Amino acid sequence: MKSSFRKAGEFAIEKLILLSGIASIVFVALIFIFLLQEGVAVLKHTSLGAFLGGKFWYPISNPARLGILPLILGSLLVTAGAIVIAVPLGIAAAFYIAEVAPRKLRAVLKSCVEVLAAIPSVVLGFLGIALLVPFLKRFLGLPTGLTAFAGSLMLAFMALPTIITISEDAINAVPREYKEGAIALGATHWQTLVRVIIHGALPGIIAASMLGIGRVIGETMAVMMVTGNAAVIPETLFAPVRTLTATIAAEMGEAAKGTPHYFALFAIGIVLFVISFAINLTADLFLHRGKKR
C-alpha cells in the first residue's frame, strides 16, 4: 500500500519535472505569439516595406508615419561603434587573463569582470549622464554630449563581460598538447599564442563576439539615457540617435492600446526578437563546432 502511494507520488513529480523541462519552449512560443498578436496589426496601417524602410518616425502625427529605418540605422550605428571598441579589447583581455596573468592576479581580474557584468544598466546610464556626457561635450566641443558615440562607449563596456568570459572559456578549452607541442618546437609563448592557441579558440571567440553583439542590440536603459533620442537618420557618430530598444521603452508608456503607434511598438519588438533569435542561433552553432573538434 505504502509503496503504491510512493509510486503515485513519484509519477506525479516526474511528470512535473517533464513539464518544467518543456516550460522554456512554452515561454519562447508565448513571447513570440503575444508579440505577433499585437505587432502584426501594424500592417493594417502601413505596408511591411514602408514600416521597415520608411524614413520618418512620427508616430503621433495624424496620420501617423511609422517608418523605423531611422531607428534601425540608429541601433546599427551604436552597435557598430560598440563592437569596434569592445571586440578587440575583450579578446585581448581574455588572452591576458587566460594565458599571461599570474594566478592571483587572474582571480582578481575575473572578479572585476564579474562585477562589471553585475552592474545594472540603469546605474551605468546614470553615470553616463552624470559624467560621460558632459565630458564628451566639453572634450569634443559638441553642442550636446548625448550622442551615438556616448551610447557606443556605454554599450562597449556592457558587452565586455560577455566577450571576455566566453573567449576565455574557449582559450582554456584549447588542448594542452597544442601549446606544449609548439613550445617544445622552440616557439616563444607569444608565438604559441598568436599562431596556435588563437586557431583552436577561434570558433569560441567568434561566438563570444556574436553574443556580445546580441547583448548590445538588446540593451535598453543605458543606451536610452545617453543617446539623446532623436528619431532621425544618423549622419555621424557624434549626433543624437534613437535605437529600436529605446523607442519601445520611451514611448510605450504614452501609446494608447489599439492605436497604430501601440501596434508599431510591438512590431519593433518582433524585429528585435527575430534579430536576437538569429544571433543566438548562429553563436550556438559556432560554440558547438568548437566543442566537437
Partner 1 sequence: MRNEGLKEKMGFGVLFLATLVVVVPVLSIVVLILVKGWGALSWKFLFTMPLDGMRAGGIFPAIVGTFYLVLVSIAFSLPIGVMAAIYLSEYARDNALTRTINLAIINLAGVSSVVYGLFGLSLFVVFLKFGVSIVAGALTLGIMTLPVIITSTREALRAVPQSYREVSRSLGASRWQTVRHTVLPRALPGILTGAILSVGRVAGETAPILFTVAAFYLPKLPTSLSDQAMALPYHLYVITTQIPGIPEGYRYGTALVLIGLVLVMNIAASVLRSKYRKKR
Nearest to 129 by CA among 225, 203, 50, 200: 225
Cβ of residue 247: shortest distance to partner 1, in angstroms? 9
The minimum distance between CB 193 and partner 1, in angstroms, equals 7
Dihedral angle sign, alpha carbons of residues 79, 84, 86, 90: positive
Asked if 169 contacts 258 with a C-beta cutoff of 8 angstroms, the reply is no
Interacting positions 119-148 with partner 1 (CB under 8 A): 119-127, 129-130
Q: Is 28 in the site for partner 1 (CB under 8 A)?
A: yes
Burial class (CB in 10 A: 0-12, 13-18, 19+), 246: buried
Binding of partner 1 by 71 (CB under 8 A): no
Between residues 23 and 140, which has the closer beta carbon with respect to partner 1? 23
**Is residue 243 a contact partner of residue 227, using CB atoms and an 8 Å limit?**
yes
| C-beta of 64 vs 250, nearer to partner 1 | 250
> CB-based contacts of 284: which residues, under 8 Å, 6+ apart?
207
Please identify, using beta-carbon distances, which residue of 44 and 257 lies nearer to partner 1. 257
Per CB under 8 A, which of residues 93..122 are in contact with partner 1? Answer: 93, 95-97, 100-101, 109, 111-116, 118-122
When asked if residue 92 is in the footprint of partner 1 (CB under 8 A), the reply is yes
Q: Which residue, 65, 45, 63, is CA-closest to 55?
A: 65
Distances (CA, A) of 42 to 34, 54, 61, 107, 273: 14, 13, 16, 51, 16
- Considering only 51, 57, 149, 266, the residue that binds partner 1 (CB under 8 A) is 266
* Sign for the pseudo-dihedral over CA of 196, 201, 206, 211: negative
Distances (CA, A) of 276 to 170, 217, 280: 22, 8, 6
Quote the CA–CA distance of 215 and 100 in Å, as a whole number. Answer: 27
Residues 246 to 265 in contact with partner 1, rule: CB under 8 A: 248-249, 252-253, 257, 265
Q: Which is nearer to partner 1, 35 or 148 (CB)?
A: 35
Count of residues engaged in binding partner 1, rule: CB under 8 A: 84
Distance CA(201)–CA(290), nearest Å, equals: 7
Least gap, CB of 52 to partner 1 (angstroms): 17
Residues in contact with partner 1, shown as a per-residue x/- string from 168 to 207 under the rule CB under 8 A? --------------------xxxx-xx-------------
Asked if residue 43 binds partner 1 (CB under 8 A), the reply is: no
Which residues, 6+ apart, have CB-to-CB distance to 162 below 8 Å? Answer: 117, 208, 211, 212, 215
CB of 60 or CB of 130, closer to partner 1: 130
Q: Least distance from C-beta 223 to partner 1, angstroms? A: 10
Min separation Cβ 27 and partner 1, Å: 5
Q: Which residues in 218-237 contact partner 1 (CB under 8 A)? A: 218-221, 225
